[in-house]
Amino acid sequence: MPLNKTLGNGVDIPNDDDYDDTPYFDYHHLKAIENHDSKYLCQSLSVSPGASHLTEEHIASTLSNIPEIPTASVPHAADPKVKFEAKDNAITTELRELYGALQKCLDLREKYIMLSGQRLMDDPRNSDDWEIYPAAPPKSWPLPPPEELERRKAKEKAREADPVAAVGSDFDFSQCKIPGAHVYQFGLGPEGHYQVYKNELDQTAGQPIHEFPTPREFYDDMDYILSVISDGPAKSFAFRRLRYLDSKWQMYILLNEFQELADSKRTPHRDFYNVRKVDTHVHHSSCMNQKHLLRFIKSKMKRSQDDVVIYRDGHELTLKGVFESLNLTAYDLSIDTLDMHAHKDSFHRFDKFNLKYNPIGESRLREIFMKTDNFIQGRYLAEITKEVVSDLESSKYQQVEYRVSIYGRSIDEWDKLAKWVVNNKLFSPNLRWLIQIPRLYNIYKASKNVDNFQDIITNVFQPLFEVTKDPSSHPELHVFLQRVIGFDTVDDESKPEKPIFKDFPLPKDWDSSNNPPYSYYLYYMYANTAALNKWRQLRGFNTLVLRPHCGEAGDTDHLTAAFLTSYGISHGILLRKVPALQYLYYLAQIGIAMSPLSNNALFLTYERNPLPQFFQRGLNISLSTDDPLQFHFTKEPLIEEYSVAAQIWKLSSTDMCELARNSVIQSGWEDQVKSHWIGKDWYKPGVEGNDMQKTNVPNIRVGFRHETLKEELDALRRYAPRKDASVNHEPMSKHDFVGVAGLAESSSIQQHLMAHKEDDWVENEMSSFPGVSMVAERAKLRTNH
C-alpha cells in the first residue's frame, strides 16, 4: 500500500483510496496499521551512527528543566476510564457518526429477531409450566427417599442390561396430547411467503395479523450494513477495537490466572468432564464414527443378511445380494475399504467431501444404512442412532442437536420424517433436532421435481402451517416438532452467486435453472419462520429459530444476511477477514458453533483457525463436531474436539468449561433443563447468571466478559445519535477513543488538526504517547550540533 501522506511528525498515513470498497481486511491493511502505530510509539525511529550523541550535561540539563508534577492530581495514564475533554471536534463528530452507524446495525438486527419471535422468552417452551414429555431424568442429588432410590436403581440396571432398547422406552405416543383446530387461516402472501389471517375475509382483503419486512426492505437493510462494514475508517476502527479486546484479555489472564485455578479447585465435584456440554452442530447421517458404522454393517451382514433392503432395476435385493453384487463379504470390509474419512484430497473440494457419505463409494449402501426414507423405512439408521444415543445417555454430560434433512421435493417429507422418529421412539433427554434444508433448487429443477422456487417453499412450510392450525391433521408431526429447535440451510457456500440481488423475481417467477443465492434462501426461510412463530406462540406451541451454516466459505453477504435474520450460525470462520462485521457479531453476542477439525479438512488449516482469537475477544462461540463420520476417530467425538483444541491452543480447564457453558446457552433445550444444567438464573447477564457449582466457570471470568461487553455497548449507546436528537456532552474516556487513529487518517480531519498552531498540535500529540517527548528532545539536540 502506498503511504504518501505525511504528518508534521513524520508519520506516514495511508490514503483514503487505499481502502477498496469491501468489508474484507487484507494483509496490507493490517501491516499499514501496524506500521502506523509503531511509528507513533517511536519503534521505527533510527539513530544515525554519525550523529552526535547526548552528553551527560545535555541529559542533566534536560532533566533539570522538567517541572515537578504532584502525582496525586494526575490520573493514571494507563487507566482507560479516565475522562478528558475532547478538543478536536472533527474527530469526535466522525466518531459519533461511526458509533451511530454501528448502533443502527444492532437496532436492525433487534428488529428482525423481535419480529420473528426468536428471542429467548418468545418461545413458550421456556416458560415454567412447559411440559416435557418424556420427562427429563430426575435430579440425582440430594438423594430421594429409599423407595424412589430403589426404583431408580432398578431402572438403571435394566438400562445397563440393554442400553439400546432403553432409548425411548419411556415414550408412549398414546400419552401425547393433541390439541384441537384453531380458527385462524393461512395462505401465500403477495411476496411469496406464508401469512396468517384472522379469518377468510382478512385473507381475501390481504390483511395478515403481522407484517414482516418485504424482500426490498431486507435487501435495503443488507445494503446498509454492507456499506457500514465496507467503509475504510469503520474497518480500521473495528480492527483496533478488536485488538484492544485482545490486549485486555491478555492483561486479564496475566492478573487472574492463578485466581481462576484456585476458584476451580475450591468447587466440589465439578470438572470439565462432568459439566454439561452440547454438540451444537452435528449432522445426523454422520453422527457415528467410522469404526461404529463398520461394526454395525458387519453385524447386519452376519445376522440379517436375508433382509430385503432395496428395490433396484425392478428387483428386490437382500442385504446379502447387495454385497454379492459388489463382490464383497463381511470379512473384506475395513475402515480403508469404507473410505469415508475426509483426507487431504477433500481440501477445498466440497464435491469430493459429499462423495465421502457413500460407504465404499456406493450410493446404494448410503441409501440402505444412512437414509430415513428408504425401502426399509430407515430401520437401520434408527438402530444405529439408538446405539449412538445410548452411549450419550451413559456419559450423561454430553448432549447433541442432530441436523436431519427436509429437501422440499415433495409435500409428504415432513410426515415421513415425523413417523420415522415417533415409530422408532427416537426420544432421549440427550437429544434434540434441527431441520436442515439443502440449497439444491437447481438439481430439483433439472430432475423436474419442482417447477419453480415457490414449490420448495410450499413443500417445506405448508405442512408446518397445517399442523399449527390443526395438530390432529399431522399428529406425529406435532409431537416431533416439540423436540425440534429450528432450521439450518446447508450446501457449498463457495459456489459463485449472482452479485446483483435487487432484481430477483418472486418465488413463483423463479423458474430458471439457476440456483437462488444464499441471501434469497435465507430471507424466505426467515419470512415463513416469522409468520409461523407468531402463530405457534399464540397457540402455546414451541417456536423455531434460524441457525444456518454461514461463513464457512463464500461471500460476506452470507454473514450479513445471517446477522439480520438468524439466532446463531455454524462455522463463521470468514469473520476473521471482516473486522467490522466481526465486531458487530461480538456486540450482538450471536452464537457461533465452530468446528475446527472440519474446517481443517475442508477450508482452513487448524493453525490458521480464528477460534482462539474469537474466544479471547469474547465472541459467543462453542465447539462442535460437524461430521464425526468424516473427521473423528474416537467414540466420543465432542471430547476429541475439545482435547485437540486444548492441546493445540493451550486451553485451560476454565477455557473449556466456558466453551461448554456457551454451548448450553446457544442450544435449544428448554429453560427447565438449562436451569438444572447451568443454574436457575443462567439467562441473566454477568456473575448474577453464573452458578459455579454447576458450570465450573469462575465468577471472575464471567464478570470480566460481562464488564468488557458492557463497556463496548455503553460507548455505542452513549455517543450514538439519540431519538430525541439530543447530544451527549459527557467527557470521553480513553476507552472510547480506542480506534480513533483509524478515523484520523481521513484528509478532512487531518486538515482540521493541522489548522491549529503546529507547535500546540505536536505538543498535544506528544503528550498522548509515553516516551515520545524524550525522543523529540533528543532529536532537537542533535540538530543543534
Instruction: Assess contact for 3 and 28: CB atoms under 8 A.
Output: no
From residue 581, alpha-carbon distances to 95, 110, 238, 705 in Å are 17, 15, 8, 19
At which residue does the C-alpha cell 457500514 appear?
A: 228
Residues with Cβ within 8 Å of residue 525, at least 6 apart in sequence: 437, 487, 489, 546, 548, 565
Query: 377: left (phi > 0), else alpha (psi -120 to 50), else beta?
Result: left
| CA 773 – CA 783 distance, rounded (Å) | 16
Report residue 420 as a C-alpha cell. Answer: 420415522
Instruction: Assess contact for 537 and 125: CB atoms under 8 A.
Output: no
Q: Which residues does the annotation mark as catalytic? A: 571
Give the DSSP letter of residue 285: G
Instruction: Assess contact for 629 and 346: CB atoms under 8 A.
Output: no
Q: How many CB atoms lie within 10 A of CB 86?
A: 14
Report residue 310 as a C-alpha cell. Answer: 432395496
| CA 640 – CA 623 distance, rounded (Å) | 11
Q: Virtual CA dihedral for 116, 119, 125, 130, nearest 10 degrees?
A: -120
Query: 361: left (phi > 0), else alpha (psi -120 to 50), else beta?
Result: left
Report residue 184 as a C-alpha cell. Answer: 385462524
Q: Of the candidates 355, 448, 463, which has an alpha carbon nearest to the alpha carbon of residue 409?
A: 448
Report residue 159 as a C-alpha cell. Answer: 438400562
User: Residue 208: phi, psi to the nearest 5?
Assistant: -70, 165
| CA 748 – CA 669 distance, rounded (Å) | 52
Instruction: Assess contact for 91 and 749: CB atoms under 8 A.
Output: yes
Residues with Cβ within 8 Å of residue 121, at least 6 apart in sequence: none
Residues with Cβ within 8 Å of residue 388, at least 6 apart in sequence: 287, 288, 292
User: Residue 78: phi, psi to the nearest 5?
Assistant: -90, 0
Report residue 510 as a C-alpha cell. Answer: 423463479
Q: Is 47 exposed, middle or buried (0-12, 13-18, 19+ CB in 10 A)?
A: exposed
Report residue 636 CA to chain centroid gap: 22
Instruction: Assess contact for 690 and 697: CB atoms under 8 A.
Output: yes
At which residue does the C-alpha cell 477477514 appear?
A: 577
Residues with Cβ within 8 Å of residue 652, at least 6 apart in sequence: 257, 260, 261
